[in-house]
With several copies, the nearest count.
Chain A
Amino acid sequence: MQFTTTPYTEHQLIEPGGNATGTLPGWMQDQDLLLKFYRTMNLIRVFDKRAIALQRTGQMGTYASCLGQEAIGTAIGCALKTEDVFVPYYRDQAAQFLRGVPLYQLLQYWGGTEWGNHFTGTAREDFPNCVPIATQITHAAGIATAFKIRGQKRAALVTCGDGATSRGDFYEPLNLAGVWQLPMVLVVNNNQWAISVPRALQTGAPTIAQKAMAAGIEGFQVDGNDVCALYEAIRYSLDKAHAGKGATLIEAMSYRLCDHTTADDATRYRSHEEVNAAWLKEPVKRLQTFLHQRGLWDEQKEQQLITDCQQKVEQAVKDFQSQPQQPVDDLFDYLFDTTPPHLIVQRERTKQKAARLAGGNHHGH
């Protein structure tokens, strides 16, 4: 009865055709930044395709593609300050790359070794991919709490999908962020599907952004295929967090152009028409057109970029494939600070097993 939603306007700076929707903000004079957006999105798209190929040819495990959602990670990676902490979900390849995680390490993660989470540099305090959906949001609230306790001017930026918004771990930390005024930004990649479940079956709320009201924090929708709009919204939210003015929920409207993961076949549950329509809005082409129009890009640069991306990705694949196998000790020695006696016994036994399996074993699998 008493609450109303004014119809939202999705924040947008560049429309799908590549044209500005109005007067552009000053920061968009920064050509280097615009080119960084474009280059990153391209690199990640090339990487993504290659990762799928690696999986298909049995050289890597299940992989979650970010096809069509590159703008989100890119905007996040560019907007974050070094001292912030990034708490990703599994479609944030672009952001992780921009945080300094080398591409080969992303492959290591999907390739089945914990060393794929051993980030260094800017990402050293960032969280690894979180498999149990939405739980990372609670961790981010904890990280933001630590910043607040210490009086640090840092923020925790966390991401999740639209499906994640149905879990307690979405609402509980959001509510905390509201009541404790935490320096936290939550970006929801609303790619319209949670595996086979469409957004409309995930919640009766017409927008995910309005869920912010349950926590008494600010929430809004952004065109998730418009890297510039995203960047602006994220910067606004991070600045707010740094200024001690509380948390923000951003609903980034995107589309999962890929299968859910390499283990999925999306044709079972959604139409070609829908996917084709979504391709018309995808982020890379849009920015390309925009850059072309502004004279910032041309065919030659494009060719150069493609070659460059492919080289980088091939190098990453090589690096991934040439990583030595992790020693048996590693399975035991990172569980506790000091490995307890029972694990030392099991470690020795497992070394023998590893030797046996390496030597060929007729009984084992």
Chain B
Amino acid sequence: MGIKETLPNNGNHSTGSEPATHVVTLVEAVNLALARAMEQDENVVVLGEDVGTNGGVFRATAGLKERFGCKRVMDTPLAEALIAGISVGMAAQGLKPVAEIQFMGFAYATFEHIISHAARLRNRTRGRLHCPMVLRTPYGGGIHAPEHHCESTEALFAHIPGLRVVVPSSPTRAYGLLLAAIEDPDPVIFLEPSRIYRMVKQEIRDDGIALPLDTCFTLKAGTDITLISWGACVHETLQAARELDKQGISAEVIDVATLNPIDYATILASVEKTGRCVIIQEAVSHCSVGSEIAAMLAEKGLFFLKAPVGRVNGLDIPMPYFQRENLYMPDVHEIIATAIKTMEYA
């Protein structure tokens, strides 16, 4: 895939002038990327529940309907299977639907269309039809929300061949990766960690430049141990890395970003260098993305591992109602403790 320095193909915005710069949160970056993509390509349409007049329950689509009209920003009836399934139909017709599922906990009804159709349309027709759709959904816990509003079941999507599964962990990456997801000619599941929707602001050049979907991002270089994470947990991971630095342990931090296909080369190279690794995820551990990375290391990296692959996971239970959700969420303390334990192996 690589970085595509795509120029606007049919947008109205002048390409001569400098792109504007905005200081934005992650959810605002999503909004910026959507607007940019819609401006660049009239085939991009947005659909979902409450995405129009209301601008999305998290305001990710705010202003889009006013700007691009109700034919390109569609409030659908309340039906997730429908949202996914009509996206397949639209995408086969050459539109680029960006569908919002209000919360990941309501995405299960889309699975049949995503697994059996979106992921397979190109393969099933030997390239005759394909499915350039994006399914966006806020995900993850820590927002004191009701049941089903805090899921981290990215592994379910990541298991399916034919899908790309992408998770941004900062406003900049949200902007660049969402543009990439929309440009991509194949279906992309784009998971937005709602806990960090408004956590930090970053300056973004609204230049329409996509980030690559086939690489991990090394957010901090280090030599002693590799900390691997994605999504909201990247923040605790970075915090832990800084604490470890203070304790004289140099941690490298990798944001996996695309969970399928995974950029194994970057991960392997880092662990080859450090010899130690901790994987941090909010999801339950059983058959998860974390399991996959650990398994890959067991298969391909066994001889440079100086210590067992450490893992900090969510618990193997459904996310507790919010009074107790903090017991579920991996925290900085656990990451540090696991890293230190991993360092203790000779």
Contacts and interface: CB of A to CB of B under 8 A. Distances in A.
Interface of A: 61-62, 85, 87, 110-119, 124-125, 127-128, 131-135, 138-149, 156, 163-164, 166-169, 172-173, 175-176, 179, 194-197, 201-203, 263-264, 268-269, 325-326, 328, 330-332, 334-338, 340-343, 346, 350, 353-354, 356-357, 361, 363-365
B327 interface: yes
Contact of A337 (B49, B72, B130, B145): B130
29 contacts: A61-B146, A62-B145, A112-B325, A115-B126, A117-B125, A118-B128, A125-B92, A128-B125, A131-B147, A135-B113, A139-B86, A139-B88, A141-B82, A142-B89, A142-B91, A143-B89, A145-B74, A167-B78, A172-B82, A195-B57, A196-B54, A197-B77, A203-B77, A269-B53, A331-B327, A341-B261, A343-B317, A361-B331, A365-B332
A268 B53 contact: yes
Contacts of A62: 144-146
Contacts of B109: 132, 167-168
B146 A143 contact: no
A143 B329 contact: no
Contacts of A365: 142, 236, 326, 329, 331-332
Interface string B129-155: 110000000000010111111000000
Nearest to B335: A363
B96 to A, nearest CB: 11
B122 A335 contact: yes
Contacts of B93: 85, 125, 142-143, 146-147
Nearest to A146: B93
A141 B75 contact: no
Given A132-B116, A138-B82, A118 B88 contact: no
Given A118-B125, A138-B85, A169-B81, 15 more contacts: A62-B146, A114-B321, A117-B125, A117-B128, A119-B125, A128-B124, A139-B85, A142-B92, A143-B92, A156-B89, A334-B123, A335-B317, A335-B318, A337-B184, A353-B327
Contact of A363 (B92, B184, B239, B315): B239
Interface residues of B, number: 89
B99 to A, nearest CB: 10
A22 B241 CA distance: 76
Contacts of A203: 77
Given A131-B148, A141-B86, A365-B326, A197 B333 contact: no
A131 B146 contact: yes
